[in-house]
Amino acid sequence: MSWLDGHSAVVTGAGSGLGRAIVERFVDEGARVVAFDKSQQKLEELKDKLGDAVEIVAGDVRSSSDNERACALAVTSFGKLDTFVGNAGLWDFNRSLPDTPVEQLESGFDELFGVNVKGYLLGVKAALSALRESRGSVVLTLSNAAFFPAGGGPLYVASKHAGVGLVKQLAYELAPDVRVNAVAPGGMDTDLRGPAALGLSDTAIGEAIPINDLMAQGSALRFAPQPADYVGAYLLLAAKSQSATVTGSVFDISSFGILPRYAG
């Protein structure tokens, strides 16, 4: 018996990087998953690989109706929804306050918080009635930047700290029906992009900084994790049999917590 046999999940930002690795692992463990991403092309590649275990929804996490479509598809296709994974995110490529022109600060804030914070709120709202029905759970992707400085600039770091607030408040509001937790991974070489408002939508993280070297040299455990190295925590939190008492928690799996400061 696998940990997620018969399980149904929605994963946002499922087209690449961490989200894709979560979908692949959940399916390996017996789940069926609605993969939600803005990139139709990435979703089709995932569907080609995983077949009937995956349904795909192309849309924007900043849209309540797109979130509702994704959650409704899980219920109509798989009969229920057990876990909503909010994961789609944008990074700010370490843009500091002094170096950001004020117009970009305004529009960049709206875009980045729209995805990293509003996207999570709208996703949980759309999933809520189905999660109450299944007594399921929410898992959000945060970051080392949810606890420490220098994992981004003020926009990203503030957005991930806001995620900690979401976890605590939503765990409080949704108890005892729905568990709400988060995972805070550290750096990894993915397709992670930034807000168009900051001119950062065409650059991936690994093109801008030597993320694998930074992790290998600057994290406590001295290796460069790949997305699949982070997904065990999601599996644990999604599997009620393994984490029935856990709510309101953020698992810091970034390996930065024991360092005096982040070298990124």
> Residue numbers of the site for ligand NAD (CB under 6 A)?
13, 15-19, 37-39, 42, 60-62, 87-91, 115, 141, 143, 185-188, 190-193, 205, 211
Nearer to ligand NAD, 19 or 153 (CB): 19
> Minimum distance between the CB of residue 94 and ligand NAD, rounded to whole angstroms?
12
Strands (E), the chain: 8-12, 32-37, 54-58, 83-86, 137-141, 179-184, 250-252
Is position 230 annotated as part of the catalytic site?
A: no
Cβ nearer to ligand NAD, comparing 136 with 194: 194
Closest distance of CB 245 from ligand NAD, Å = 26
- Residue 182: closest CA among 200, 169, 191: 169
**Residue whose C-alpha is closest to residue 48's, from 80, 29, 76, 20:** 20
Measured from the CB atom, is 60 or 133 closer to ligand NAD?
Answer: 60
Q: Are 159 and 116 in contact (CB under 8 A)?
A: yes
Write the single-letter amino acid at 83. T
Rounded-to-integer distance, Cα 159 and Cα 165, Å:
10
Closer to ligand NAD at the Cβ: 146 or 240? 146
Q: How far is CA 93 from CA 104, 128, 165, in A?
A: 14, 33, 23
Q: Which of 156, 230, 234, 262 is catalytic?
A: 156
- Asked if 11 and 37 count as a contact pair (C-beta separation under 8 A), the reply is no
Catalytic residues: 156
